[in-house]
Amino acid sequence: MKLSDQVRLGEWIAKQWPNDKGLQDRQIPVDVALGSGYAHSRKAAENTVAILAQLGAQQATIDKLVDAIGSGGGLTAAEIKAAAEAGAQAALDKLGDALKES
């Protein structure tokens, strides 16, 4: 086998990125397959983007809580703590799910 020979990719790769014309034939040169780990690296990168977006949304929620406290929103310390813990758990759950997928 030569490095320029084509190898067959798993069907899930073409399904994961249906708009990538280069993946639809499910063929990739041996040197690319061996050297890049392309699909797994890309999935990990996409999961990272999703996790960062989730963290950004949680920061926005924290900012709203802080604003509510500052404007006399009537939140108790227990309510604030519960909201923070729920957000942290949601982030950990999302991270765990993303890591399982990659």
* Confidence class for position 70, pLDDT limits 50, 70, 90: low
Rounded CA separation 57/23 (Å): 33
**Ranges of H-type helices in 1-102:** 11-16, 30-36, 38-70, 77-101
Q: What is the pLDDT of residue 33?
A: 75
Q: Is the pTM of this model over 0.85?
A: no
Q: What is the pLDDT of residue 36?
A: 67
Q: Are 4 and 30 in contact (CB under 8 A)?
A: yes
Q: Are 84 and 63 in contact (CB under 8 A)?
A: no
Model confidence over 30-66: pLDDT tens digits? 887 776 677 778 888 888 888 888 888 888 888 777 7
